[in-house]
Amino acid sequence: MNWDILILGVFVLFTVVSLLLKLDYRFAIGAGVILLAVAPFNIVIVEKEIIARQVALFSYYFLLSGVVVCLVSYLRGDDV
């Protein structure tokens, strides 16, 4: 299976579960922000830029998921 689609699928699932279970969107945003902040360290720690790129991609998906959950929760009037 295509790796990109697999990762996207996992994040779509994560978003759907977050929406169903009404998880706080800030978990996803927090994960995204932290991953984005730590991504550069992979270049120096594991000495592989590709890992940094992958971490940045995960960060992007977390942020996207967080923003979507935030928006939907706002629209359905969830308290945060």
- Residues at the interface with another protein (CB under 8 A): 4, 7-8, 25-26, 29-30, 32-33, 36-37, 39-44, 49, 52-53, 56-57, 59-60, 63-64, 66-67, 70-71, 74-75, 80
Closer by beta carbon to another protein, 6 or else 16? 6
Q: Is residue 65 a contact partner of residue 11, using CB atoms and an 8 Å limit?
A: yes
CB of 29 to another protein, least distance (A): 5
CB of 8 to another protein, least distance (A): 8
- How buried is residue 7: exposed, middle or buried, by Cβ count under 10 Å (0-12/13-18/19+)? middle
CB of 9 to another protein, least distance (A): 12
- How buried is residue 80: exposed, middle or buried, by Cβ count under 10 Å (0-12/13-18/19+)? exposed
Closer by beta carbon to another protein, 17 or else 34? 34
Spatial separation of the C-alpha atoms in residues 74 and 21, rounded to whole Å: 15
